[in-house]
Structure 1
Amino acid sequence: MNTVSFACLDADALGGMQRVTHTLAQGLARRGYDVHVIGLHASADPVTYIEDPAYGHHELNPGPRWRFGATKRARRLLDAIAPGLLVMTSPGVVTRLSGHLGGHRGIGQYHGSFAHARGTWHLGAVKAHYGDLDQAVFLSEDDAWRFSEAALLPNTWHIPNPLAGWPHRPSPLRKPRILGVGRLTGVKRFDRLISAFARAGRPDWELHLIGDGPDTDRLMFHAVTEGVSHQVMFRGRIPAGEMPTEYRAASLVALSSDHEGFPLVLGEAAAFGIPAIAFDVSGGVRTLIDDGVTGVLVPPGDVTALATALTELMDDEPRRAEMGAAARAHADAFRLEPVLDQWELLFAHLSR
């Protein structure tokens, strides 16, 4: 099958899932596939992920909702695209499109973790719809197994998210700087990271938070109450092209989220040879961090353990260097080409 389409709720919004979708689409198009990216509705704040896309790009609705007539438009679009594979990137997409595949074979992808899905409507949607598709694809072997058991899925597969690029120069790990990257919103729990950083008590270090969001003012006040406002730098949103400079200026990366699927920041940090410290919240996180070798995993929500891990690595430059080198070697498996190879293995499996 030479046609591959990816469908997202909003294909051009700022987010890891969207970035991964466009990265995969461009990679497969360059391998000779006829690739299409479909947004079920337009993003209110669109982001350009690929400057010169080699794939088709379509939007079913000009507004932010699944409006009247959208199902007919979806059918017409899918009928106009040569029969192939349709990768539906979330339960919301699967529930809207799985009954209208026409000549396409359906792949249900899930970009979150089993732990997160279990506490939301997502697990019910996966149970109801993903087993009827040709394949259900998850981000890690652990998550695929958990979904197969809990949702009784006979068709699970796992493929990690790819890195968009590969840096030729890693970080020298010399600056006393910790990096946190992500939307400043509740699920990322940067308040916990700020508290852990404060407890580490290293006045010569800085914590740089890259991203914007509705919790900015609250987090700034939290830094004041923790007594580290002069050490916590709120950098705002930084263009993707400038992020290599930020990674090379960091010596540690920390992730304090309540839940994550396959967080690209950990893969990107590893590619720059930066050890990471993260809450152990998913199979994807465990895939990206080899605990004690490329970084440190701590129990979810345990601020004291996070502070201890930060302190130990802030104080141990040789260990940071050793872990950073191991992290870069580990991240090689998540480069775009090996991940595209895994997608092609799945395509070959479905064509048998």
Structure 2
Amino acid sequence: MTVVFACVDADTLGGVQQVTHTLAQGLAERGHEVHVVGLRRARSPFRYVDRPRYHHHVISRGEPANRLARARADRRLRRLLGELGPGYAVMTSPSAVIRVRGLLPARLRPIGQYHGSYDHARGCWHLASIRKHYPELDQAVFLSEDDAWRFAEHALLPNARALPNPLARWPETMSALDAPRVLGVGRLEGVKRFDRLISAFARSGAPEPWELHLIGDGAERERLRAHAEREGVAGRVVLRGPVPAAELPAEYLGASVLGLTSEHEGLPVVLLESAAHGVPSVAFDVSGGVRAAGQVLVPPGDVDAFAAELRRLVDAVEERRRLGADARARAEAFRLDHVLDGWERLFAHVSR
């Protein structure tokens, strides 16, 4: 069958994009014809799969500047979709649903994903858009049972279903958890609130030679560097920049604790990846997805509570190992084959 994943931007460094390419490659390896469609070109494209077995398309060089440019882009997209065989079109965000739904031929069954939490949707325009557009789709897919239930109850969605993000690969080796390193992974953007992670690391009083390593790049880089200076830990906060996907496993193996201090999340892949490597995590409790994948949870925004839990894990290697083993066992549910099975069951359900 044909499976289309439609993203506003399919190639930026980000969780939605990583999950999309992972699912696309997995389904293609199972023999399906898979297409990843980016509505606009990324400014700095990131390569997620070295040898993709799926088709990749970019509709526009950037956001269409006027109605005429949008009409031309829509014609290109309609023509592409019209050439595909019967199957399913997975639109990965409310913006993608708005843009793509009206251009789909009848033989492509519409499925809407949402990669955020109910709480995040409620705090912005997403909830109103989901209420308006997702009920008319064949299926609405959310990242956790908790979020699917809340959208069904409070957004009156009759078609809500939970499917988690997958792990791209399952590591055979676990971290020894003996390196004096706390790890943060993600875009250095405001929503990730790495300033809170730096503050928590400083307040934890983690002794030398413990360090905080931040992997990723973004507009907040220099502000975070200055924040570490103000917190008195500039010499022990290492801004590593972006790391190729193939090299990330070594980063998890070299870490003893992962910190997640985002303003909001759906089901962050970084929690799954760290758990699969046996690395325990401390995270703000911001979504059902974080609760499903996270371990040590603290109230959202409570930096002092975060610092206390961080120090507890820094001080206790046996507790790190206990939590790390539990994290790896929990991560089994997110292995790629299990998630792909869930998608194929969803496709079968839609076809009935």
TM class by smaller structure: over 0.9
Residue in 2 aligned with 1:84? 87
- 5+ residue gaps in structure 2? none
Among candidates 242, 267, 284, match of residue 237 of structure 1:
242
Structure 1, residues 75-132: CA drift from partner, whole Å, max 9, x if none? 1111101121000000001001112221211000001111111111111110110000
What SS class does the counterpart of residue 166 from structure 1 fall into?
Answer: coil
What SS class does the counterpart of residue 152 from structure 1 fall into?
Answer: coil
Range with bigger deviation, 221-230 or 277-286: 221-230
What SS class does the counterpart of residue 243 from structure 1 fall into?
Answer: helix
What SS class does the counterpart of residue 230 from structure 1 fall into?
Answer: helix
What SS class does the counterpart of residue 133 from structure 2 fall into?
Answer: helix
Residue in 2 aligned with 1:27? 26
Instruction: Give 2:99's aligned amino acid.
Output: R
Runs of 4 or more off by more than 2 Å in structure 1?
62-68
Instruction: Give 1:220's aligned amino acid.
Output: R
What SS class does the counterpart of residue 258 from structure 1 fall into?
Answer: coil
Residue in 1 aligned with 2:187? 183
Among candidates 119, 126, 129, match of residue 125 of structure 1:
129
1:205-284 matches, within 5 Å, as 205-284=210-289
Structure 1, residues 234-254: CA drift from partner, whole Å, max 9, x if none? 111111111111111100000
Residue in 2 aligned with 1:322? 322
Residue in 2 aligned with 1:161? 165
Alpha-carbon separation, structure 1, partners of 2:230 and 2:59: 47
What SS class does the counterpart of residue 170 from structure 1 fall into?
Answer: coil
Q: CA deviation at 1:171?
A: 0.4
Alpha-carbon separation, structure 2, partners of 1:246 and 1:96: 38
What SS class does the counterpart of residue 213 from structure 1 fall into?
Answer: coil
RMSD: 1.0
Structure 1, residues 40-90: CA drift from partner, whole Å, max 9, x if none? 111111111112111111121123447331222221111101121000000
Task: Answer whether contact 2:185 2:214 (CA < 8 A) is retained.
Answer: yes
Alpha-carbon separation, structure 1, partners of 2:290 and 2:190: 19
Task: Answer whether contact 1:43 1:64 (CA < 8 A) is retained.
Answer: no
Alpha-carbon separation, structure 2, partners of 1:34 and 1:297: 40
Residue in 1 aligned with 2:202? 198
Residue in 2 aligned with 1:292? none
1:100 aligned onto 2:103: yes
Q: CA deviation at 1:22?
A: 0.8
TM-score when normalising by structure 2: 0.96
Residue in 2 aligned with 1:306? 306
Q: CA deviation at 1:191?
A: 0.9
Q: CA deviation at 1:261?
A: 0.9
Q: CA deviation at 1:14?
A: 1.2
Q: CA deviation at 1:173?
A: 0.3
Alignment: residue pair count: 346
What SS class does the counterpart of residue 69 from structure 1 fall into?
Answer: helix
Indicate the percent of aligned positions where both proteins have the same amino acid. Answer: 60
TM-score when normalising by structure 1: 0.96
Q: CA deviation at 1:216?
A: 1.1
- 5+ residue gaps in structure 1? 290-294
